[in-house]
Amino acid sequence: MMLIPCPWCGPRNEIEFHYGGQADVHYPSDPRSTSDEDWAHFLFFRDNPKGVFTERWSHAAGCRRWFTVHRDTVTNEIHPDDSASAARTVTR
């Protein structure tokens, strides 16, 4: 069981959350000129590190807001995202 730090509700049990996968996956800026390969990477390819992963969670059974954390995929050690771009934690 993981305690996940919701930026608004504090650390809560994992069962209250919905997983959103890798953070900062952006829709292609120019879809009309995006190659098949780049579409494939946008749709299907995600980082899969053994170590720290920057990922999205939604506090589905709480405040229902999305946020970003850094979690170690081996130890499950988890840190809130307090980087300069933390504004993205509002929603997607």
Partner 1 sequence: MAPRTPGADLPEHPDWLWHSPDPKPSYDVVIVGGGGHGLATAYYLAVNHGITNVAVLERGWLAGGNMARNTTIIRSNYLWDESAGLYEHALKLWEGLEDELDYPLLFSQRGVLNLAHSLQEVRDGVRRVNANRLNGIDAEWLDPHQVAEICPILNTSPDLRYPVLGATWQPRAGIAKHDHVAWAFARALDRMGVDLIQGCEVTGFERVGDRVVGVNTSRGPIRAGKVALAAAGHTSVLADTLGLRLPIQSHPLQALVSELLEPVHPTVVMSNSVHVYVSQAHKGELVLGAGIDAHNSYSQRGAFHTIEREMTAAVELFPMFARAHVLRTWGGVVDVTPDASAIMGLTPFEGLYVNCGWGTGGFKSTPGVGWCYAHTIACDEPHPLNAPFSLERFTTGALVDEHGAAGVAH
The tokens describing 25, both together, are: 């996956």
DSSP assignment string, 2-57: -EEEETTTEEEEGGG-EEEEES--PPPSSGGG--HHHHHHHHH-----SSEEEEEE
Please report whether residue 73 would count as binding partner 1 according to CB under 8 A.
Answer: yes
Site for partner 1 in 10-69 (CB under 8 A): 14-15, 18-19, 21, 36-37, 39-41, 43-46, 48-50, 53, 55
Q: How far is the CB of 72 from partner 1 (least distance, A)?
A: 9
Interface with partner 1 (CB under 8 A):
1-2, 14-15, 18-19, 21, 36-37, 39-41, 43-46, 48-50, 53, 55, 71, 73-76
